[in-house]
Amino acid sequence: MLAGLIRHNKASVLVLDMHNEYGSTASIRIPANRFRTEEQVRRERPRGGTGARRNRARPSPTSTWRSRSDISTADIELLTRELNLKETTPTTLDALWDSFRDNWFGQFKAMTQDVVTTDDGKKVPASDSVALGLAHGVNVMAAEGLHSKLRRLFSKPYIVSRPAADA
């Protein structure tokens, strides 16, 4: 139905697909005048070798970039089921917000779970670790668990420190 609305230039459509059921791993916007029906694609398919295929015009996809500072703790709570987050997550997110405010996502991403060995052979958390980076009273295991779960988001190429345009 959405494809038909776009094809006939009857509406602009914005789809927020939180479960990624309808798209690929990247957000892609195709201008309405570049949308093609299955029949058009079949007719445009070149016959013969790969040389004809190389010359076919393709729409150039554009990605939607999101600033790390735009991601709120509430956004993460909405992903509880998808990321399999625990019941301790809201408390940990509150601690992150209290510690870093708007830059909580970027600061949390920069943290590690590394351990260093001291001169006397003791293993202690690294200076940039999750264990030392959060306020006292936060369960370290819960914070490290959340950090591990959020790695799926940390690695997304469309979440950047400063996007080229305001999303």
pLDDT tens over the chain, length 167 residues: 777 777 788 877 777 777 766 665 444 444 444 445 555 555 555 554 444 444 444 433 445 677 888 889 998 999 898 899 999 899 999 988 988 888 899 999 999 989 899 999 999 888 888 888 776 678 888 999 999 999 989 988 888 888 776 54
- 93: helix, strand or coil: helix
> Could you give the C-alpha distances from 48 to 40, 42, 45, 52, 89, in angstroms and in order?
18, 14, 10, 7, 56
Which DSSP state fits 59? P
Structure tokens at 109: 């991403």
Which DSSP state fits 119? T
Residues 6+ apart with CB under 8 A from 56: 44, 46
> Could you give the C-alpha distances from 80 to 34, 44, 48, in angstroms and in order?
36, 44, 49
Q: Which residues pair with 13 in a beta bridge?
A: none
Angle between helical axes of 140-154 and 89-100 (0-180°, round to 10)? 80
**CB burial of residue 18 (10 Å; 0-12, 13-18, 19+):** exposed
The model's pTM: 0.58
